[in-house]
Amino acid sequence: EAVFVSCTSMRVARIIEEVEKELGKPVTSSNHALAWHMLRLGGIGEQIAGKGELFRRSL
């Protein structure tokens, strides 16, 4: 299970770690997932701390 925030106007990246800790679940948004995917397409696959569970996973 996870939480998906579909509104692109919400700036989730700043609070994502806090929300994940509170809910005990991964959280992402459309912009957050897009940023992750763009980094991966650009060959940047290392973990990025402070940006949620999605960015802590390396491929």
DSSP state of 16: H
- H runs (alpha helix) in 1-59: 16-23, 30-41, 53-56
Place of tokens 């994502």: 16
What is the predicted pLDDT for the residue at 58? 65
Predicted confidence pLDDT, tens digits, the chain (59 residues): 899 988 777 788 889 999 999 999 999 999 999 999 999 999 998 898 899 999 987 66
Q: Return all residues near 30 (Cβ < 8 A) that are at least 6 apart.
A: 4, 5, 6, 8
What is the predicted pLDDT for the residue at 25? 96
8 Å CB contact between 48 and 32: no
Q: Token pair for residue 39?
A: 């980094």
pTM confidence score: 0.81
